[in-house]
Amino acid sequence: MNETRKIPFPLDITAPVTLQGQPVPEREWIVPGWIPSRSVTMIGGDGGQGKTLLAQQLMTACAIGQPWLGVETTPCRAFGLFAEDETAELHHRQAAINAAYGVDFRDLERMEWTSRVGLDNSLGHFDQFERFTESALLGQLHAQLAGGDVRLCVLDSLHDLFTGSENSRTQARAFIGALRCLATEMNGAIVLTAHPSRAGMADGSGYSGSTAWNGAVRSRLYLKGVEGAKDRRKLTRQKSNYAPAGEVIDLRFKDGILAPLVGAQGVVASIRRGTARNAFMACLWALMAQGRDVSESSNASNFAPRVMASMADAEGYAVGELLRAMNEAFDAGDIRLEPVGPPSRNRRVIRPTDG
C-alpha cells in the first residue's frame, strides 16, 4: 500500500490571474543598470587595478547621494567589510575620495566599514558532500544588516571570504545563494569583489574559477587596464539579468580616485538634479526667514548643504546632492555671496540673487 507522501512545507504559489489590475512594481537599483537591489553583484579585477577603490567610491557616492562614475545612485546607508586593507589605508583612500566629492568625514554619517586584515574571514564551510554551513561571521552580518537601514554592503574580497573550491559549480552557487539571502533580508545589494582566474584574465571575460559564479550573480562587472596607458581603466558590464551587457565606462586615475572620462547624461539624471536645486533654494529661503545665515565653505559650521540636509524642505536629498545643487545654482546665477558684518570681521553668506 502506498503511503501518503508528507509535504514538509507548502509552496508559495502565485496565480498570474491575481495580478490583474495590480500595478507593475518598478525594478529597484542601487546604481541603475549596474547594481541591482536584492541581488549580488560581482566586481572582478586583477590585483592593483582599483576594484577596492571603486567599491569604496560606490559606498561614498550612495552615502552622500552623489553619482558613481557619472551614474546616478540611490542615496542609502552603506557598509563595507574589507579583509585586505587596514583602517589606515581605508582612511587615506577615503580622504582622496572626499576631496573629489567636496565633502568632509563628518558628511559620511551613512557610511561604515570594518577592517578584518589577518582575521578569519570565512563566511561559511563545506562538508564532504558540498553542503554549506554559514560561519559566525556571516551570522554577524545577518544580525547587523538584516532588517536595518543599510542597503549597500561591500564584501572585499571573494578569496578571503570563500574557503571552498572556486571551480566547484555546487559550491559557487551555494555561496552566492547565501549572500543573496542576506541581500534580500536587508532589501539591498551585496557587492562582492573578486580576482579573475588566469584564464579569465587571458580571454578578457574576468571569470573567477567555475562559470557558475557568472550564472549565480545577477550582475557582473569587470575592471581592467588599458594597454599603453597606465592611468586608464575600463569598467565593463560583462553580465546583467536586467540590463544590456557590454556597456563600458572609461576611467582614469586622478588625484587618488578613479574618475569617469565622460559625465552622466540622461533625462532622469537631469530631472533629479533640477529637483535638488529647487530643494536647495527652498531651504535657503526658509533659513533666511529664520534669520540663519549659511556658508559655501565646507569647513564652516554653517556649511549650507550640511545644514539643509536635515531640513524638511530638503525632501530627503543628501549632503552631496545639495552640494551639487549649490554649485549649479551659483553657475546659473540663482545665488550669490554677500558680505555681512563689520569690515574687521567680514564674512560672506549665501543669498538668492533676487532676494
Q: Total domain count for the chain?
A: 2
Asked whether residue 193 falls in the same domain as residue 291, the answer is no
Does residue 311 form part of some domain? yes
CATH number of the domain residue 34 falls in: 3.40.50.300
Beta-ladder partners of 303 = 295
pLDDT of residue 268: 44
Asked whether residue 173 falls in the same domain as residue 275, the answer is no
Does residue 252 form part of some domain? yes
Asked whether residue 138 falls in the same domain as residue 243, the answer is yes
Beta-ladder partners of 233 = 225, 251
Contact 234, 54 (CB under 8 A): no
Q: CA–CA separation, 327 vs 178, rounded Å?
A: 43
The per-residue pLDDT string of the chain (355 residues; one tens digit each, 9 = 90 and over) reads: 455 666 677 889 999 999 999 999 999 999 999 999 999 999 999 888 999 999 999 999 999 998 999 899 999 999 999 999 999 999 999 999 999 888 899 999 999 999 999 999 999 999 999 999 999 999 999 999 988 899 999 999 999 999 999 899 999 999 999 999 999 999 999 999 998 855 545 555 555 557 789 889 999 999 999 988 889 999 999 999 999 999 999 999 988 999 988 644 444 454 455 578 888 999 999 999 898 999 999 888 999 999 999 898 888 888 888 998 999 899 989 999 998 877 777 789 999 987 6
Asked whether residue 170 falls in the same domain as residue 316, the answer is no
Asked whether residue 69 falls in the same domain as residue 201, the answer is yes
Does residue 120 form part of some domain? yes
Domain end position, chosen among 233, 260, 287: 260
Does residue 22 form part of some domain? no
How far CA 49 is from CA of 54, 63, 70, 233, in Å, comes to 9, 24, 19, 8
Asked whether residue 255 falls in the same domain as residue 186, the answer is yes
Asked whether residue 210 falls in the same domain as residue 80, the answer is yes
Domain end position, chosen among 206, 226, 260: 260
- Residue 253, all three cell numbers: 586615475
Does residue 188 form part of some domain? yes
pLDDT of residue 240: 93
Domain end position, chosen among 212, 238, 260: 260
Q: Residue 289 — φ and ψ, nearest 5°?
A: -65, -25
Beta-ladder partners of 262 = none
Asked whether residue 323 falls in the same domain as residue 221, the answer is no
pLDDT, tens digit (0-9, with 9 covering 90-100), for 2-47: 556 666 778 899 999 999 999 999 999 999 999 999 999 999 998 8
Q: In 3D, which of 120, 203, 213 has the Cα closest to residue 165?
A: 213
Does residue 92 form part of some domain? yes
pLDDT, tens digit (0-9, with 9 covering 90-100), for 172-207: 999 999 999 999 999 999 999 998 855 545 555 555
DSSP string, 4-65: PPPPSS------GGGGTTPPPPPPPEEETTTEETTEEEEEEE-TTSSHHHHHHHHHHHHHHT
Beta-ladder partners of 71 = 68
Asked whether residue 297 falls in the same domain as residue 216, the answer is no
Asked whether residue 137 falls in the same domain as residue 272, the answer is no
Asked whether residue 170 falls in the same domain as residue 201, the answer is yes
pLDDT of residue 47: 82
Q: In 3D, which of 107, 190, 97, 174 has the Cα closest to residue 141?
A: 190
pTM of the full predicted structure? 0.75
Does residue 1 form part of some domain? no
Question: How many CA atoms are closer than 13 Å to the CA of 208, on its beta-carbon side?
Answer: 27
Does residue 3 form part of some domain? no
Cis omega before residue 157 (within 30°)?
A: yes
Boundaries of domain holding 345: 267-352
Asked whether residue 249 falls in the same domain as residue 347, the answer is no
